[in-house]
Amino acid sequence: METATFGAGCFWGVESVFEQVDGVTATKVGYTGGFTQAPSYEDVCSHRTGHAEAVEVTYDPARVSYDTLLDIFWMNHDPTQLNRQGPDIGDNYRSVVFYHSPEQEAAAIASKKRLEESGRYKRPIVTEIVPATTFWDAEQYHQKYFSRRGIAATCNIPA
């Protein structure tokens, strides 16, 4: 099994999308990319921790590739919005790929470049590609939030 970590706005919808992917064996939501140890949701929402809401995805690379996970990441949020997604505003909602290996870094950079060159977006892609750091699990009530309530994935696919 391998791990991929993505931030793309509110982690509830992002997790909901990834947990439906064949080959993804586990997902969890949490906070990463900041400097505060063991942050709470309230800490992260204060915009004083540097953390992003993120989803840690455990996947079987024999069943789903990292490139496919990147494609899903790009398709399910607007990577041109700086520190926001839709109505959610703040650095904790930033678009970011947290890579776990040099191979993931190279794949993420190449994927972003292909998307930039595709002409799909008129505005620049602002997604960060940074090394993965400590992933702090979000509170239990955030885990599998949509699936526990029978709510379908609600991330918007930008035009």
6-15 mean pLDDT: 94
> What are the beta bridge partners of residue 99?
131
CATH of 2-148, one of 3.40.50.720, 2.60.110.10, 3.50.50.60, 3.30.1060.10: 3.30.1060.10
Residues 96-154 pLDDT 10s:
999 999 999 999 999 999 999 999 999 999 999 999 999 999 998 888 867 777 776 65
What value does the mean pLDDT of the chain take? 93
Catalytic annotation present for 10: yes
HSE of 51, CA atoms in CB hemisphere, 13 A: 28
11-18 mean pLDDT: 93
- At 65, is the pLDDT very low, low, confident or very high (cuts 50, 70, 90)? very high
Contacts of 53 (CB under 8 A, 6+ apart): 7, 9, 10, 11, 29, 30, 31, 44, 92, 93, 138
The enclosing H or E element of 88 equals strand 88-89
Distances (CA, A) of 37 to 54, 137, 156: 16, 11, 31
* pLDDT beyond 90 at 86: no
DSSP, collapsed to helix, strand or coil, labels residue 131 as: strand
- At 159, is the pLDDT very low, low, confident or very high (cuts 50, 70, 90)? very low
Which residue in 10, 55, 69, 115 is the catalytic one? 10
What is the pLDDT at residue 157? 42
- The domain spans of the chain are 2-148
* pLDDT beyond 60 at 6: yes
What is the pLDDT at residue 155? 52
> What are the beta bridge partners of residue 84?
89
Q: Does residue 143 come out as left (phi exceeding 0), alpha (psi in the -120 to 50 range) or beta? A: beta
CA distance 104 to 140: 28
CA distance 119 to 127: 16
Contacts of 75 (CB under 8 A, 6+ apart): 157
What is the pLDDT at residue 158? 43
What is the pLDDT at residue 148? 75
pTM of the shown model: 0.92
Contacts of 19 (CB under 8 A, 6+ apart): 27, 144, 147
